[in-house]
Amino acid sequence: MMRDAVQTSLEKIRGMLQADGGDVELVDVSDDGVVKVRLTGRCGSCPMSQMTLKMGVERQLKSDVPGVHEVVNV
């Protein structure tokens, strides 16, 4: 159930990432609230990808999905 909520939340962010030539792919959601994603396209090689991950993706997921504690790029 948390995985579905995470996927729905990622859809909100996806458009902004795609506008810059990137994207985000959900890899896994653990029981302890760690969400694993893969930044792809331009986001995968961008020097600002950690900021995008923490200040964009993680912030949105924590806001939308109770129980998300951390988002990591794999």
Amino acid at 22: G
Question: Domain with 29 in it: what CATH number?
Answer: 3.30.300.130
Per-residue pLDDT of the chain (74 residues), as tens digits, is 899 999 999 999 999 899 989 999 999 999 999 999 999 999 888 888 888 899 999 999 999 999 999 999 99
- Tell me the residue ranges of DSSP E strands in the chain: 22-29, 34-41, 70-73
pLDDT at 45: 84
pLDDT at 63: 96
Domain that holds residue 33: 2-73
Total domain count, the chain: 1
CA–CA gap between residue 61 and residue 58 (Å, rounded): 5
CA–CA gap between residue 32 and residue 69 (Å, rounded): 8
pLDDT at 65: 96
Distances (CA, A) of 25 to 17, 38: 11, 5
